[in-house]
């Protein structure tokens, strides 16, 4: 039995900041491709947070799904439509 | 002064994600941006559920050899929210795929991704 929660709380502090900043930054981009990539970065921070909350299976699933699959689907949609946000 | 735990940090991050997601879905005009905001909202709900099941000083719910069942039940993190969220992540992917497909069809019909122009209904 290893006590991990004391070392995980430092990681949790960093990941709260990363999740919030990443979510705001993803929605503020004019370039939709960049927004998709930044949402993937936010998703990997969320995967680390799941790891800190002692749910490693969720961390693995979120890392794969949120970083590859979701931005991939969104990028597919961007290439079928248009890349920049019109004004 | 409230003691800061990982659970509290999880609640804070989940609240921030839900607020950002709802604000993005309401106030952004681009359909792809709305879809990204929807995924952020879904992430927030997942994080809230997992943080609810966290136990301070707990262990990962894997039964190691040499551990009695009562000790495992007393210390392990709750497994039920993890099961729900694992399903919800996969459902979120398919929902996002359907939303992107609908956005592509709207773009083909109206020639724009702006929700305000789509709602006016001018065919291109």
Joined tokens for residue B25: 């879905």
In angstroms and rounded to an integer, the radius of gyration of the C-alpha atoms of chain B is 20
Q: Contact at 8 Å (CB) between A52 and A40?
A: no
Q: Residues A32-83: pLDDT tens digits? A: 999 999 999 999 999 999 999 988 999 999 999 999 999 999 999 999 998 8
Yes or no, beta carbons of B9 and A61 under 8 Å apart = no
Yes or no, beta carbons of A74 and B30 under 8 Å apart = no
Instruction: Kindly state whether residue A60 falls inside one of the protein's structural domains.
Output: yes
Count of domains for chain A:
1
Yes or no, beta carbons of B36 and A74 under 8 Å apart = yes
Instruction: Kindly state whether residue A18 falls inside one of the protein's structural domains.
Output: no
Q: Measured between beta carbons, which residues in chain A are less than 8 angstroms from residue B13?
A: 15-16, 19-20, 49
pTM: 0.91
Q: Contact at 8 Å (CB) between A31 and B83?
A: no
Exposure string for B60-82, b = 16+ CB within 10 A, e = fewer:
ebeeeeeeeeeeeeeebbbeebb
Residue B98 at interface with chain A, using a CB cutoff of 8 Å? no
Q: Contact at 8 Å (CB) between A26 and A6?
A: no
Domains and CATH numbers, chain B: 6-120 (1.10.287.3510)
Domain that holds residue A66: 30-87
């Amino acid at each position: 039995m290893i006590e991990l929660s004391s070392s995980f709380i430092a990681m949790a502090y960093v990941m709260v900041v990363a999740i919030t900043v990443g979510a705001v930054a993803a929605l503020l981009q004019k370039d939709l491709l960049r927004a998709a990539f930044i949402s993937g970065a936010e998703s990997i921070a969320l995967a680390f947070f799941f790891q800190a909350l002692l749910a490693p299976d969720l961390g693995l699933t979120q890392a794969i799904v949120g970083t590859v699959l979701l931005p991939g689907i969104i990028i597919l949609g961007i290439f079928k439509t248009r890349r920049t946000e019109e004004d | 002064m409230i003691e800061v735990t990982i659970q509290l940090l999880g609640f804070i991050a989940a609240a921030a994600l839900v607020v950002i997601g709802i604000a993005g879905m309401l106030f952004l005009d681009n359909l792809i941006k709305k879809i990204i905001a929807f995924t952020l909202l879904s992430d927030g709900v997942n994080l809230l559920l997992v943080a609810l099941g966290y136990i301070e000083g707990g262990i990962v719910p894997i039964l190691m050899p040499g551990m009695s069942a009562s000790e495992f039940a007393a210390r392990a993190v709750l497994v039920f929210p993890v099961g729900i969220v694992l399903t919800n992540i996969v459902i979120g992917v398919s929902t996002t795929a359907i939303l992107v497909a609908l956005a592509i069809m709207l773009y083909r019909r109206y020639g724009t991704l702006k929700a305000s122009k789509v709602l006016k209904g001018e065919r291109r």
